[in-house]
Structures are given as structure tokens and as C-alpha cells.
Chains A and B, each alone.
Chain A
């Protein structure tokens, strides 16, 4: 249907809207996550596309954040957490013994729920990642990287005159965009976002969402959100988690207008917690 009308209308706006990647970036197969004795994620299979915003929604404790943190092995810091199954990034198993999580995290950046800039200058916040990964050969290189990252984070115009002032002095929304710029600065391929707007006011939220929409041109973005509306607004693909299961995964418009699974239907229409 969409294609037919695209041909008929030849409308760039429609084409732009429906444009998503088709390459698979991350493949998860039979993923099981245990926290001690509790089974947090049960037999999860999902393909995450490149150049696409994928949203994970679901009630609290459904495992969506847990799975997100599996994707860059942030769960390693939790002693009781055990991950089984296979998660591949570009057909390389990220849980392979040879993989150093530090290297993985440079490839799979993360933005957190609460804006958490380092208590350093804006410049140092962004430059930190490139510095520790040795991405810049000279000061000029680093300046370029910082500027590029801040532009990608859609915050350059607001901070270009005060790069040396502390990052913690920015407003909440600016801080979150700074954190996104910081994540982008290490040239990741995937950006994970764990409820990136939950601490922001609606305007800052809209700004960050707009940024996420732009980021999909360069990255595969995975976002966990409590707000179904946010998932609807920013994502092209939506995955609904419930009690550790991936209940439904599909095109966002389809999930929100015509979900296949009755649990998804109930959740998005506000009938279960």
C-alpha cells in the first residue's frame, strides 16, 4: 500500500519518513539472563537493524533495561548477573572470551536515564572518550572530534562559546544532549539509550527525541522507554517486553495501530500495568 502510493505521490516527505535501514546490526538468539535465582530474560530472539531507532517498551521489571545492558555488557559490573545465549554485533559474538568489554563499549555507546555529565568542562566531557581510546593524534584532531560530536548531539550552537565551563552547569536537556555527544564522540556503531528523557521536561524531551531521529542516519539506536508515546514518536521498530519475554516485535506504526498480540494491545491501550 505504502509503496503504491509512494509511486503515485512521489512525495519525498513520505519516503523520508518510511526510510529505515535493512541491514541487521545486532542479532540476539536464545538469550537468557539470570540475576541470582531470578530469571530476568527468557529465551529472547531479536534482530536489530542498522540506521533504525528500535524502541523497547514494557511494564517495569519486564527485562527491557536488562536486555539493553546486555548489549554493551554493562551487566558485567553486576556480580550476580549471568547471560546465556548468543548476542552478535556484526556477526561477532560479544560474549566471546576474547572480547574485552572496554572495546565493546567504545563500539556500543550508552546514554543513561539521568543526565550524568562528568563534573568537568563541556570540552573534557566530550574529549574523555576519544582521549582514552587514543582517537586523536593532536590537539587539533581532538578539537575537531569534539566539535563534530557536539554538532551531532545538536548542542554545538548552544555551547560553542563556553566549552570550558562545567558540563554540570547546563540545563537537564542540554546535559542529556551533552551525554549523547559524549557517547557519539567515541565513534560508536550502536547507541543504547536507557530512558534518556525520563528526567527531562517536555520541551527538552522533544529536543532529545528530534536528536534521536537524526542520529538514526548514522547509527543503530536502541532506546528503552517507559513512555509508549515516546516509543511511538521516535522509533521505527518497537519491541514489547512482558515478564522477561519479548512478546511482539514489529514496525512501530503496526504495533500502535494494530498489535498482533493481545498482551501488547492491553499494554499500549493501558489495560495492564
Chain B
């Protein structure tokens, strides 16, 4: 047999389509954003950055978005944790209950949000900040519950029994055993909720009649008004925030491999 060099169908070859996809739809757009941000009138320049960071309005809009993202994440955690906890405790083996929580995500989120709006209108609730946060919590809650459920279900029951044997009551067991052991789930839940909720604009537009103006709206306005430079800078700021946040969360998770895996 002659040894041929060239294309051989190894397992690695199956990754090529995705690598191509990645290059075309992730790397190229990123490069374009970088170009738009730094390239002003045919020369490298920081003008776009100066324009964005000297504008109080843009920063205020960013601040509002971050706070709304924070509040959404917190509410999701406060509602999601007990739900995931009791789900794992009482229905660990039953997939049906878990399914009940994923079910809403099968309906297109735009339709869900429009229905939420219709309900608010029917109840006579005035649209505003409250309804926007409600809509976001409603939309992102499943993404909090699922990783939490996985983490809590994975806790070794004998550890909980040991905690009881050593004299801890239910609450102490929860704080000192279950909570630290489900830390990885909490972190990935937070990432999965915080990042999309900071950059959202469709939910805020629909559920506040466009009254609540968020960072996503602002970026969209910039691009639709042909201000690609500033729009790209804003997208970069958003991207940096997300990366920074991920790093922070990773650090909080220590060097635990599970965390970085669940993060991806």
C-alpha cells in the first residue's frame, strides 16, 4: 500500500463544518465590529470611544440595563432555587415535572411576551419597569431552574444524611451542605440569565410600549441611523462586560472543572 497524505476521514474531520461556521458567523462579525469601532475615515482612531464615553446618556442607559439585568437575575435565583430544590427533593426521578418547567420555552418567546402584554392590559396594569422585569423573569426562569436542578439532583444524599447525623437541622443542612454543593449550578444559572437579560431589547420594547430604553435599544438605534462606529463601540463594551462577568464567575467557582464545563 502506498501511503497517501491528504484528506483522511478522521474523527476530527467532523468538527470542520462547525469550525467553518464559527469562522464565518462568529469571527468575521467580530472583526467587522472591531474595524468599525477603530476605523474612522480611513485611519485608526479612538474618536468613537471618546464619543461614547463622553456621552452621559449612553452611560446612563448602560447603567439602567445592568441594574435591570441584576434584578432579573436575583429574582430568578430567589424564585428558581426553591423551585429547583423541591423539584429535586420530591420529584427527582420524575421527568414530567421538569418538563413542565421547560415547556414554556417551546413556545416562541415573542408570542409569550405578546401574550404577557395582553394579560397585563386585560388586568389594567400599567406597563413600565415592573412589567419589563416581570417579563424578563418569566422568560429566563427556566434557564435558572435547569442548571440548579441538575446540580441539586447530583448531590450525594449521604452527605445530607451525614449533616443531619452531626446535629444540623434542616435549615443548617441547607446552608452548610446543600447550598455550597449546588454552587456550580447557581453560577451557571446566573450566567445564563444575566448575560441575555442585560442585552435584551425586544422584551423591554413590548412590555413597556418602548418606554424603557435599554442598552440594546440604544445599539439598535445607532445601527439603524447609520452610526456604525459608535454602535460598534457599544457592542464592544457589551462584549467586554460579558467576558469580564464570565471571568468573575469562573473565579468564584474556583478551579472546579465542573464549573468551567457547565459555563460553556
Do the two chains bind?
no
Residues of A that sit less than 8 Å from B by CB: none
Residues of B that sit less than 8 Å from A by CB: none
